[in-house]
Structure formats: structure tokens, C-alpha cells
A and B are shown apart, each in its own frame.
Chain A
């Protein structure tokens, strides 16, 4: 047994987190920064955080993840990190020559109270920032929120630093895709373009964290939203923010400052959430939905009707991020599965009430917790076993111990490939999700079938 100390008996905990279902802000900020063209993320703190964030992102994407650090020592922790950050800015521009440095803080620099804006201004005044280059900044203390919060903070920071209205509409539409895979960002772009929309998508890690093998390494590849696009997003027709936690702040800030009307939607995972996304896009941008999209919707629905018997009333346990879990649970409910245990490490009561709403009509009790952890999820599973587990790679320990069919979903996925290339968003992504779910459910039936019941056609 891998998790041999996880008991059925649940002793309530207030202080100890066991097997977290979240991680810290800066990694989200680093991921968002990588979605800006020619940008080097910079971690203002001790070098350990940066090493950890880079390693974790690298394991998930299997791509180069470059980022620099202020390398605080005990001295900087006492006197503040100004000298370190100014030296870092100088070293980075001289050595690596990005167009943009995106600084995020860590628990250490936040606790010290370093004022990064003031330090960046000093660096500019001292001539350490070459002309036409930029230092942007987001505050990302990890003792608040989670990695999703950090993503949101950096996304807001990039928009607010660059956006500047000219007074003339640019005929474009802003889409903030949320903390999703590069493949999802590509898919969201494809769908928007198919609808005749010219999107500005930020951040956009496609082409950065799923780049091709060419034998020629480039620290700053072609992908990512450009500074010019970010500047122009103040002139867009509107903004759709996907995922209330990851994207809403940026969209609302653009609305408040530059009067770009915004709406917040769920990430288009599954049928209903994608329906809402497409419909909102259609109305907001004043376009009609092309046949190809309607056809993809029909194909997704076709799989659902064809395979409904295998989904019906199967119990599911999920761990992940609120922005993903809400549409995902809705999708499972829509295909008549029973999501019974749902946990996120990210705090916020709104999550629990959304899930309660979505599952209120189910013929079973549903356990849901924000600011929970995977230990708790596992204990729930021990008390009420499930037919399917959906979680990041840490889920495999529960899946193996309790022999549960298991689909990897979320962050990080460190033991399989595919997530960065094949989307799980929009209708096509929904089809892929169903394929994955069916694969594990049917493989399990095949494995367990006695010979006389082993079927060729399922």
C-alpha cells in the first residue's frame, strides 16, 4: 500500500494539511508570464522557490521553462532585496535580452515588504532597463489563495501595465483563457477565429510550452501574446474572461480603467459550458456560429448518446482547481454520472455553493470542500467508493491503492504526455475527455470480465 496510513476513520483537522490539492501563487504567475512573447519570468525571493517552480512546470510540460531569481541571502532577507533585483534586471537584459521581465514576489519578499514597483522604477532611473524594454510586476504572496491566484494576479498585471486606449476600436475581442493548457489556448483561438472573431488571447502559452523539436533552441520562441497586443487590448470590443478565479480580475480591471465591457464565463469544459461560451461570444461580438462549430457540438453529443449506458450513475471523485472543477462537474452531471466527492485546495466558499447547486438534484450525498486536501478526498473514497477518479498525477497513489479507474486531469501531470498537445476545452476537447473516461471505464470492464462475459463489441 502506497498510502498505508490513510484510514477510513476521519479525525477532523484544523491546522495540518496532508497531500495538498493546490500549490503556491508564484508558479501560476510564472506560467502566466511564459504566455507573453519574449518575456523572462523573474522570481523575487530566495532561489529555492524559483528552482521548484521551474522544475514543476518542466515536469508537467516537458519543455524548457526559463526564469531568473533574485537569489536572496540572509542579508537580503534583513535589508530587503532592492540591490538583488536591480542587479538581476541588469544581468538579465545584458545576458538574455528579453523584451520583458515579469517579476513576481515570493513569500519571503512579501513578508519583508519589498516594494517592487519602486525598485523597478529605480532600475529604469539608473538606466538598467534598455529603451523599449519593460519590467512588469505582480504581487504573489503564497499565504493567500493558491497557484490560481498567482496566475490571476500576473494576468491582471500584464494587461494593466500595457493596455492603453487610443480611442479607436481595433475590431478585436479579448479572451482571457484562464489557467489552462497551451493546447486549450490554441483550441479557444481556433473556435473564435472560426466564428470570424479576431481574438487577443492573453496569456497564451501555445507555441511556448508545447513547442516543436527543431534541433535549434530558442529561449524566446514565437508564441505568447505580444506587448503590442496587450497594449491594444484597451481598444477591443469586449473581453470574455474564462474562469472566475483565474481571469475575472484582469477583465474587470480593463473594464474599470479602459471601459472594455467584460463578462466572466466558466472555462468551456464539456457541453453546457461550451454552449454558454460560444453563445456569449456570438452575442458579444455580433457574429453567427458557423456550421463547423455546430457540427462539432453534434459530434460531442453523439458520443454522449452512444455511450450513455457506461456513464449512467457511475460515481466519480475529483480533485483540482475550482475553475476546472465547476464546468467539469457540470459536464459529468449532464451525462448522468454522479460526482460524489469533490475537493479543491484553493480556498473560497463560492466553489462549494456552485458545486452544491450543480449537484443538488443528484440521488446521493455529495461531499465538497474548498481549502481541502487529497487526504480528505481519499478518506471520503474509503467511506464511499467510486468508479472513477479524476485528479492530477498525485491521484495515481489513491488509484493504485484502491484500484480505481483514473483519468489524469489538472496540474501537474508529471507521468503522461498529451495534455499540452490535445485540448480538453470546447466541443472537441469534450470529445477527448469522454474518450479518456470511456477508455478507463471500459478497460476496467474488460479486465474484470469473466471469460464468458468478455465482449468484442461494447
Chain B
């Protein structure tokens, strides 16, 4: 495909000729008030890869400009919605007025599958204290306590958690004190999260608050050792559209057992037992890398970055897990599984590729998917011309090596960092320092993530926390064949005549992870970018408005 870079105004969309990204960037900033343009300029970057592999600094995890129309949500959404939402057997009570709880009720597609009808599953329920004005004026702690008591009386759950919304922090309700008191009284585990929506600058803060809570209140409570040979945890996989089920299927075929997933299809007991795994594998780096770090320090479990989005990445990740355990039997088994699965994958991939090759994609979503999904597009010959995250940090763009250089600003400082030390009884290094070094010398990478930008072509446009205005400009200039983002962007994109794939919810589709997931995704993109429906945008009389003949009545 030709990629001659040109002035944006002279580009004929659909010709495969791409505009000059610097020009696009300039035009993007031109419209904004000066102060806003200055701020946005740090978050809109033309990708460039230096000889040593480094990429330009990417402004990220900074405050959103008020009024700009952002994709971002709040810390409560990240905490209650994303991290704790997929755990089925905890009664999650939202402490606040009704809305926050209502909107996070069944709106993410994190699937769960209790083993039988007798097992607990509260995910279909929404629990809220529905604060009224008198609670705001006089404080809501009394109502919260009563709500916990009622939840206990009705459901007798093994755990209850409390999520604070914006007004709660403001009026000073101490949810942690309430949790402690009720825990004592009821004898079940009860804990609270101070995840008020104004904390931090995006959902990312909420992920951190949630994970700290899970780590503090649940992990390490059950020392039972699972009777299995290769035990791992899957971190940062939320089972959207059944992704986690597909990954579980593959791992099972390989003979690898998952102790706990954080947090797709998860249960309280799995979290409690997760410190007994021998390896942590991190899928979404953004939302959970610190848990992997904390588990390594406290329990001695090493972690690696893996990615099950894309058939090649899946194969690579499986091999990486097998290599960690250093056993021939496992390595062989994994190779066999990959070989078997790839047959069908390749058949579909080549067929779909013949129709998708050279088409353009854009991805603006989340904290890892905008990167991971580029793999799938690549596999069918599509080119990502622009991408960015909604709530990621610099390390997700530029790689973990920049972590020491990241400045901690006021908004990040508000998010608690736990001070973790090795557990006196439970710390057992899974590998000795020598074993780790030996593996590293063979090129094995522990706790490494190189970020999105080094994987993208030079001259692509990387945009953090993209605004609606920037989205519209990209669509106008590049006319991509597909645009990926979330529900709020969906219909404005489609009304522009461009198919739009949601990568938060998958538009009721999925799974897209693993081998079967890759096949699903290839087919889905084929359906979308090669559909006839986009050819009907104009009515016949709009295409040919002039009247060429008249009926003559004689």
C-alpha cells in the first residue's frame, strides 16, 4: 500500500494515500482556544521510533479539558464497574444517590457462569443506598449500616463491599469505619472502597483503588493449594463477551490451570486463594500491573505480560507461559494445541484477508485494547493509522522503561500506593534469582511491557483521551474503513457512513480472545468493512436528481 504523505485537504478518501500526520495534527489543534491547544498538543503525537526503540513522550493520565467531550468515565466506574463488577458472589452496594448504581447495573458484558443454580450470583442485581436529601444533610452512615444489615438478612452472602460515589466523600461518610463495624457484627468479610468519581482523572484511578482493596481484603485468605501441575493467575482479563471462557478452554487443553482470574468470571474464593499460583500473567497492563508487582513482593510470584488478543499473540503467550515452567512435557503439549488450533484460524484468516487487505482501522479505547486489537487487524492485512487510549498512562504508550521518569502529579498522589513487604509466612519465591537470570539470559522477559507505540508504524497518529471534535476530524480526513471505540462514539461514527466496532462491549459479539476469538473477530470485521449496507446511503433520486423523462398520458 502506498503511504505517500500529503496535505490533508488534497486527499481523496479511499485512495490508500495517507495525509501528512503533522498537518492533521496542526489542523486538529487549530480550532481550540490557545490554552486548550497547548494542553492537547502534548497528547497528540506523530509516532516515531528511534534506533534504540524509544518513542516520543506521550502526554497521558492528565486531566481532561472541561467541555471538550471526552470518552472518559470516573473512578467509581473503574472500581465498581470494571474490577469488582465481574465477581459474582460479593454483594456490591453502591453508597450514594441512585444513578451511579443504576448505570453500572449489567451494562458491561462481563459474563459469568456459576457451576450450578445453587451457587451465588449477584451480578444481575443492583444494590444501592439510594441516598435522599436528608442523608446528604445529616450523613449517610446510618442508612449504609442499615442497608448492609438488610443485605445480610436477605442474602447471607460471604462478603459485602461498599462503593463510595462523589457526594459520599464530600459529606465525609466514613465507609471504612462502617465496614469494620459491620464486619465485626455480622462475621462476614465487609470492606469499602473510596472510589468517589472525582478521584484521579479517569477510570484508571478506580482500577487502582479496587485492586488495592481486593489485595488488602481478600487475597491471601485461603492457603489451600490446588492439585494441579501448572498454576497461573490471569490478571486484567474481564471476560467481556466470553473472552475468558475461550482463554480458559485453551489453557485447559494445554494442561495449564488458572487459580484465579482478575476478575472475569471470578469468585471471592478464587481471589482469596490466588497467592498460591506459581505465575502471574498480565493481560491488561494498565488496570492491574501493580497487583502483579505487589504479589511478587509479598508472595514471591513472578509476572509476565501476555496477550491473548490475536492468534499469533495467543500462540506466543502460551509458549511464554510454557517456557516459564521449563518442562518439556508442557512445551510439547502447548505446541500441539497451537498447531491444532491454527489450522482453522489460518483457513479463515486467509479467506478474510483477501477481502480486507489494505483497509484502514482506527482504535480509541481503554488502556490496553487499542494496542492489542491492532494485532488482529494486522493479521487480516489491515493497517492501523491512528490509535490511542482513553485512560492509559505513559508506560502503556511508551513501555515500562519510562516508569522512573513519570512525574507524579496532584491527581495521582491522591490514589493510595500500598506499602508492601514480603509476607513472613507466605512468601515463597517460585524461582530462585539464578533461575530467573538464566531465563532472562535466554531472552525471557519478566515484568516487561513495551507499550503501544513501538508496535505502531512511524507516521501514525497517536492520540490520548481523544475528543469528539478530534474524532470527527480524523473521520473526515482519513475516511477509515472501520473505527473502534465505545458506545458513546458509536452512532456519530456510523452516522458518518463508517462502520464502528465497539471494543468495550464488542456490540453483543465475542469472544475475540484466543483462537476461536480471532476467527470470530476476522469474520466480524469482514462483515463490517465489506457490507453492502453502506452502499444505500443515497436514495435513487438523490443520486440522479434531474428528471430525465416524464410520463406522457395520451
Contacts and interface: CB of A to CB of B under 8 A. Distances in A.
Interface of A: 1-5, 7, 11, 13-20, 22-27, 42, 45-49, 51-56, 58-59, 62-77, 84-85, 87-92, 94-96, 106-108, 110-112, 141-144, 146, 211, 213-219, 345, 375, 394, 397
Given A16-B128, A20-B105, A71-B66, 19 more contacts: A7-B154, A17-B101, A20-B130, A23-B102, A24-B100, A46-B74, A46-B198, A47-B197, A48-B77, A55-B486, A64-B495, A72-B166, A77-B196, A94-B36, A107-B136, A112-B170, A213-B495, A215-B496, A216-B497
B32 A95 contact: yes
A47 B126 contact: no
Interface string B174-211: 00000000000000000000001111111000000000
Contact of A55 (B97, B121, B125, B487): B487
Given A14-B150, A215-B496, A216-B496, A26 B99 contact: yes
Contacts of B96: 107
Contact of B74 (A25, A49, A55, A143): A49
B10 interface: no
Contacts of B33: 90-91, 94
11 contacts: A3-B124, A15-B144, A15-B147, A45-B197, A47-B64, A47-B197, A56-B107, A71-B72, A94-B32, A143-B136, A215-B538
B509 interface: no
A71 B154 contact: no
A215 B493 CA distance: 9
Nearest to B97: A142
Contacts of A59: 107, 487
Nearest to B203: A48
A58 B132 contact: no
A51 B488 contact: yes
Contacts of B537: 213-215
A1 B196 CA distance: 33
Contacts of B102: 20, 22-24
A71 B133 contact: no
A1 B132 CA distance: 32
Interface in B494-540: 494-497, 534, 537-538
Size band of the interface chain B makes with A: 35 or more
A14 B146 contact: yes
A211 B120 CA distance: 43
Given A13-B150, A74-B414, A215-B496, A84 B98 contact: no
A215 B74 contact: no
B541 interface: no
B198 A20 contact: no
A51 B73 contact: yes
B143 A24 contact: no
B70 A69 contact: yes
Interface of B: 31-33, 35-36, 63-77, 93, 96-107, 117, 120-122, 124-133, 135-136, 143-147, 149-151, 153-155, 165-167, 169-171, 196-202, 410-411, 414, 467-469, 472, 486-488, 490-497, 534, 537-538
A15 B153 CA distance: 12
Contacts of A7: 154
A111 B170 contact: yes
Contact of A66 (B35, B72, B106, B468): B468
B67 A17 contact: no
A308 B181 CA distance: 58
Contact of A58 (B126, B411, B491): B491
Contacts of B200: 73
A66 to B, nearest CB: 6
Nearest to B151: A16
A376 B117 CA distance: 21
B495 A216 contact: yes
Given A17-B128, A107-B97, A68 B67 contact: yes
A118 B488 CA distance: 31
A111 B117 contact: no
Given A48-B73, A108-B167, A42 B67 contact: yes
A106 to B, nearest CB: 7
Nearest to B497: A215
Contacts of A49: 74, 99-100, 166, 197
B67 A88 contact: yes
Contact of A143 (B104, B131, B197): B131
B467 to A, nearest CB: 8
B462 to A, nearest CB: 21
Nearest to B169: A77
Contacts of B36: 91, 94-95
